[in-house]
């Protein structure tokens, strides 16, 4: 598909070239995004025309020498000079954790491959991050930024971590489950984050591939990802940015494509996802931790994306305790199969709210549910840890329009909570070729509006 953002961005870059070279003031381009809710223009930093090749700082190509120190030196120099591109040339470059600084664009030339070691000790000391909605100090993400502004990863190269150790860690042994229980207990009882040290012993809490934490003005454009230890792209409490033209493939355990968590003002467009878990996921923290942070995830548009494989096309939750609102996915396509096409999930521990979620002009091959809302999703946590405080999630304003699927087990399955029913669900212009289980199920939902929902063949039994 045509990339409207890149065309506009390139034109403005040309017009701002002289200004960015001569001015010491930061220069930005703004991106207007259409949505069924009010959304401010997104700011993208215009990086100074300065290059810092990693070879200038001693990097050695070939995949044998660890180039972490050289890449760090290039980032330091780029930051001190006011910003620019840290250039990774074509070739194979071995590294461990890359920590960003403000005004740095990590630029991957075509045929450049960044390979990341899989030795856990290379990702110490521990840094402030999160694990499934709970803040902690854990192994450094492979690409990490904390409280940075104006950061980017661009170019046509590849991020490709070594996976031997992380694949072993995919299995959830008893020691790992005990560590999760301890982290949950600390988060639920307000233990300070700096005391939640999880990068120890056999905890095996795998690091994210990309984790940007509390950053502003983010650009991720053009590169490929092949595999990830944990969540692939995790933007946590970030404000403003664009993800475009990404080619993401990761089929390990918990390999979500992109997780937007307690972040706001983002555009995701023209990306391809091939995932072992959810493709595009909107989150807002877990339970007491998110209530403390009180930061909704809001104003996010996803358009013109293809999901080759994944558990969901669009997932909301289940970590939603800070609240989620104003999410709009349109003109996206899953040609093969996804477990759930549009899936909203929470439970009685989460609280928070989910409101004004829109999906339209979308297609898929096969799915279990075209639309599902489930308010009792606890996974392994159901029996692992207790409920410290019950808070029911308010869900109001869910819109699905103009969706087609070749086959589905069910068209919609809406399971609200009797204590606080879901409100205002509108399902319009939906067509499924073959439905094999049931057409619709509605429990504890007020004001479900169905218009022009059709199917060609039905072999199940309607609820």
Q: Which of 259, 216, 219 lies closest to 235 in space, CA to CA? A: 259
The predicted pLDDT at position 379 comes to 79
Q: How do residues 352-406 score in pLDDT, each as one tens digit?
A: 999 999 999 999 999 999 999 999 999 778 888 999 999 999 999 999 999 999 9
Identify the bridge partners of residue 98 per DSSP, sorted by sequence position: 143
Q: Name the pairing type of β-strands 51-53 and 84-88.
A: parallel
Where do runs of H (alpha helix) occur along 67-196? Answer: 68-80, 164-170, 174-188
Rounded distance between C-alpha atoms, residue 154 and residue 455, angstroms: 43
Q: Is the pLDDT of residue 4 over 70?
A: no
pLDDT band at 108 (very low <50, low <70, confident <90, very high): very high
DSSP 35-100: -SS--PPEEEE---S-EEEGGGGT---SSSSB-HHHHHHHHHHHHHTT-EEEEE-SEEEEES-EE-
At 201, is the secondary structure helix, strand, or coil?
A: coil
Q: What integer is the mean pLDDT of 155-172?
A: 96
The predicted pLDDT at position 6 comes to 55
Q: How do residues 112-148 score in pLDDT, each as one tens digit?
A: 999 999 999 999 999 999 999 999 999 999 999 999 9
pTM to 2 decimal places? 0.94
Both structure tokens of 450: 């169905």
The burial class, CB within 10 Å (0-12 / 13-18 / 19+), for 415 is middle
The burial class, CB within 10 Å (0-12 / 13-18 / 19+), for 293 is middle
Rounded distance between C-alpha atoms, residue 134 and residue 350, angstroms: 12
The predicted pLDDT at position 442 comes to 98
State in Å, rounded, how far the first CA of the chain is from the last one. 40
Rounded distance between C-alpha atoms, residue 72 and residue 79, angstroms: 11
Q: Taking the CA atoms of the chain, what radius of gyration do you get in angstroms?
A: 22
| Helical (H) or strand (E) element with 8 | helix 4-22
């Amino acid at each position: 598909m045509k990339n409207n953002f890149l065309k506009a961005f390139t034109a403005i870059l040309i017009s701002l070239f002289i200004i960015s070279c001569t001015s010491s003031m930061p220069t930005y381009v703004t991106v207007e995004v259409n949505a069924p809710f009010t959304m401010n223009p997104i700011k993208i930093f215009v990086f100074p025309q300065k290059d810092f090749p990693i070879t200038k700082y001693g990097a050695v190509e070939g995949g044998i020498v660890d180039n972490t120190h050289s890449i760090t030196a290039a980032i330091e120099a780029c930051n001190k000079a006011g910003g620019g591109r840290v250039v990774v040339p074509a070739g194979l470059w071995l590294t461990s954790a890359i920590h960003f600084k403000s005004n740095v664009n990590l630029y991957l030339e075509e045929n450049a491959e960044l390979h990341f070691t899989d030795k856990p000790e290379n990702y110490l000391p521990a840094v402030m991050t999160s694990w499934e909605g709970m803040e902690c100090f854990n192994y450094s993400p492979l690409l990490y930024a904390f409280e940075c502004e104006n950061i980017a990863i661009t170019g046509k190269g590849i991020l490709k971590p070594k996976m031997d150790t992380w694949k072993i860690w995919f299995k959830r042994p008893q020691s790992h489950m005990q560590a999760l229980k301890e982290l949950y207990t600390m988060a639920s009882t307000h233990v300070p984050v700096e005391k939640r040290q999880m990068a120890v012993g056999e905890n095996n809490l795998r690091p994210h591939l990309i984790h940007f934490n509390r950053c502003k003005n983010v650009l991720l454009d053009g590169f490929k990802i092949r595999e990830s230890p944990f969540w692939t792209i995790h933007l946590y409490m970030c404000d403003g940015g664009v993800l475009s033209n990404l080619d993401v493939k990761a089929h390990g355990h918990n390999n979500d494509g992109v997780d937007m968590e307690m972040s706001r003002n983002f555009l995701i467009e023209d990306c391809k996802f091939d995932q072992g878990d959810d493709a595009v996921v909107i989150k807002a923290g877990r339970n007491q931790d998110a209530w403390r942070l009180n930061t909704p995830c809001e104003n996010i548009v996803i358009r013109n994306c293809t999901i080759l494989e994944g558990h969901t096309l669009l997932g909301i939750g289940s970590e939603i305790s800070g609240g989620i609102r104003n999410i709009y996915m349109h003109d996206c396509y899953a040609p093969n199969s996804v477990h759930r096409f549009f899936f909203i999930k929470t439970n009685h521990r989460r609280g928070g709210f989910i409101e004004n979620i829109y999906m339209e002009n979308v297609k898929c091959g096969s799915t279990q549910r075209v639309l599902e809302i489930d308010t009792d999703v606890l996974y392994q946590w159901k029996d692992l840890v207790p409920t410290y405080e019950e808070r029911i999630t308010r869900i109001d304003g869910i819109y699905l329009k103009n969706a087609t699927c070749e086959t589905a087990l069910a068209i919609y399955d809406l399971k609200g909570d009797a204590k606080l029913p879901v409100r205002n669900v509108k399902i319009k212009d939906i067509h499924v070729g073959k439905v094999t289980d049931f057409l619709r199920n509605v429990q504890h939902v007020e004001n479900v509006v169905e218009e022009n929902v059709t199917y060609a063949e039905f072999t199940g039994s309607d609820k």
